[in-house]
Amino acid sequence: MRRKRRTLVGITGAAALGVALTMAHAAEPVRHIGIHVQPYYQAARTPGGTPRVEVGRGFERLASNRREDILALRDRIVADPKLVTPMTLMVLAIRFYDVGLRDDAVFWFYAAKDRYLTLDEVVEVEAGGLAQVEDAVRSFSTLAGPIINGYAFCDIANQQAIRARALDWVEANPYDAIFMERLPAKKKDRKAALRDAVATVRANAAKESAYLRDAKMVAQLRADRAKNRMDAKFCWK
């Protein structure tokens, strides 16, 4: 289990900077996240088409291509986030990207991963019957991450600000599934374990921030992005 968690953390942290560099070399702007993560999400075949969304009752409008519908669902989640799953937040992030609200996409992508990581630190995910959740979050991170981070790192200062806000949101809005007795806990005191989990995620975020304050590392990041024409793909207005 520890090995699996490190894999997911690697995608959330500084390693994500390099993930996007593995994409194809075509420099056309990437305006659509065309991924499938069964059974939760299947993108439309073409931009502007209707995706299939199966993240729970009440979230059907995540299939809409209207910005106002996606914003309305965002507002609903913000108003009552206690039991909103990481998969729902991942799909919200993808749909924000598809309708052109990419800062929102970055925020909810990071929030989705952090929400899952806090769950994983507190409860026994596999023993609780949540192995599918772990697989889904990893798949969303691997498939959507290169595109969302491809945009996020167009502006490092903006990325860092969004990263901090997403983590603050996760800390302020703990996932209620963490406290469900039917899910076996790793430690007796779940509240203390959650505080430790948030501290762990913050420590990983601090490592990323340190990386991004290193002038040599940033220069290499920018050189790699230029080599792979990342700005042409992701930094369009």
183-202 pLDDT, tens digit each: 999 999 999 999 999 999 99
Query: Which residues pair with residue 36 across a beta bridge?
Result: 42
pLDDT in tens, 35-89: 999 999 999 988 889 999 999 999 999 999 999 999 999 999 999 999 999 999 9
C-alpha gyration radius of the chain: 17
Smallest CA-to-CA distance from 176 within 72, 87, 95, 80 is with 80
Could you give the CA distance from residue 204 to residue 13 in angstroms, rounded to a whole number?
6
DSSP 36: E
pTM to 2 decimal places: 0.90
% residues pLDDT > 70 (the chain): 89
Residues 6+ apart with CB under 8 A from 167: 110, 111, 114, 198, 201, 202, 205
The C-alpha angle with vertex 167 and arms to 4 and 109, in degrees rounded to 5, equals 65
